[in-house]
Amino acid sequence: MLSYTTTRSARARVLGAVAAACVGAAAFLGACANTDELLSVTDPDIVNPSDVQSPAGANAVRLGALARLNAATTGVESYPLLGGLLADEWRSGDSFIDRDQIDQREVERRNSFLLTANRNTHRARMGAIQAVGLLKEFAVTAPGWQSAEMYFVQAYVENMLAENHCSGIVFGSLEGTDVVNGAPITTTATLEMALAHADSGLRLITGTTADDNRVRNALAVTKGRILMNLNRYADAATAVAAVPTSFRYNTAHSTTTNENQIWSLNNSNRRYTVNTGLEGPAGLNFAGANDPRVPTCAGGSALCIQNGVTQPRTFDNTTLVPMHAQLLWATRDASVAIVSGVEARLIEAEAQLKAGNATASLATLNALRAATGTGSGGVTGLTPLTDASTDAARVDQLFRERAFWLFGRGTRLGEMRRLIRQYGRAVNAVFPTGAFHKGGNYGADVNFPIPLAEDNNPNAAGGCIDRTA
């Protein structure tokens, strides 16, 4: 990164060269009255503060924040993908060491994919902060749900960072149009900040339009997830009680501008493959369970060929990593429900189990299984669960249900960490262990470190406060 002094010196050298050229060419070109003019160009990628100081400008920043949320959740190198790779949803079939080290649970701070995910997420948050201020100042008649959705973006990505990273996350803030460097804060402090933003958004929604209800439900489920991470299960159940099971908050994709990167990196490029349960004794068999909530196919099989996945191996062309494609999002433009009413019911089921009401928890899980069709939250082909008999087995059953219902939505790593933090499970009973399929053994990481680039912030040099779950 160039410092201000370095950049200014380089510009002075260019201006000096331009001035010298003007002196030599004056007889032919006339005098150069202002050398700055020769370096003045219009950069279409730079948006000046004055350009957005209007109702239309504020709305443009709002829409930009939503586009950045899309990139942070289902774009290239998002936490839902990388977190699922560190957990047990995906295995690396790639030739890039940066993805392999995440799969192996040995993540370096200089990991380039981690840096991309981190930047995309913080950009979504900062865009939402900017939008809230602009809407308040320049779009006072805009419906409340618009600012509320910006608070949703903040709460969602702050919680996502807390679920994926070690303690010690750094958040910037705004003073006017200036970004102010933050200092590392704990995971609990991050979650409490996210909770405050969710509540701020909920207070702004007073209507009952479709948009009001959509944003209200998204905030409610996000609040419920945050409260679960704070070990406040009864409050979490209360937060999601009014959310209908059929609710979906989708990220949208297209065939031309922003394709679904889960499809791209798995189905199309074969750099990710769905885990078949081979990631140590703790990994779930998402591709081998034949569960309709996570439909998959083996590369080169008739079903996969029908869906465009003709190769039996992953990108690195090794038989050690057989290719399995997910079919939840079988096209490049498939939308992804990053928040849903299904998750609301799962939060209620976990709160019931935590409260000692195993019967009610099982009934909630079976009600989800009995629902048919995506409109009501369910799928066809699921049979009722039976009581798992012991407390530990009931927890296993619940978290398996969560894993299959929410596959690929960015929740799995946070859930595995909660099993350690809030249920007392040993790390090796939760995360993949033993021999790694590309050589060596799995490491000890249960979260992501703070990217090395954060050391450019003098308040944040040194990385994590704590690497435990």
**Does some domain include residue 26?**
no
Q: How many domains does the chain have?
A: 1
Token couple for 29: 């070109």
Is residue 326 domain-resident? no
- Integer angstrom CA distances of residue 108 from 62, 87, 103, 233, 314: 34, 16, 12, 34, 24
pLDDT of residue 426: 96
Q: Is residue 76 part of a domain?
A: yes
String of b and e for 5-37 (b: at least 16 CB within 10 Å)? eeeeeeeeeeeeeeeeebeeeeeeeeeeeebee
d(CA 305, CA 382): 26
Decide if 238 is inside a domain.
yes
* Residue 6: C-alpha distances to residues 46, 162, 224, 292, 461 (Å): 21, 36, 48, 58, 22
Domain presence at residue 9:
no
Span 206-234, pLDDT tens digits: 999 999 999 999 999 999 999 999 999 99
Q: What pLDDT shows up at residue 212? A: 98
On whether residue 227 sits in a domain, the answer given is yes
Give the pLDDT of residue 372: 64
Say what the pLDDT of residue 43 is: 52
Q: Containing domain of residue 170, as a range?
A: 52-254+336-437
> Residue 320 has what pLDDT?
74
CATH of the domain at 161: 1.25.40.390
Tell me, what's the pLDDT at 361?
A: 98
385 part of a folded domain: yes
pLDDT at res. 160: 98
> Would you say residue 166 lies in a domain?
yes
Residues 6+ apart with CB under 8 A from 125: 153, 154, 157, 158, 171
Question: What local confidence, expressed as pLDDT, does residue 373 receive?
Answer: 56
pLDDT in tens for each of the 469 residues of the chain?
A: 333 333 333 334 333 333 333 433 333 334 444 544 444 555 555 556 678 899 999 999 999 999 999 999 999 889 999 999 999 999 999 999 999 999 999 999 999 999 999 999 999 999 999 999 999 999 999 999 999 999 999 999 999 999 999 999 999 988 877 888 999 999 999 999 999 999 999 999 999 999 999 999 999 999 999 999 999 999 999 999 999 999 999 999 999 889 999 999 999 999 999 999 877 677 899 998 999 999 999 999 999 999 999 999 999 998 677 899 999 999 999 999 999 999 999 999 999 999 999 999 999 999 999 986 554 556 889 999 999 999 999 999 999 999 999 999 999 999 999 999 999 999 999 999 999 989 999 999 999 999 999 999 999 888 999 999 9
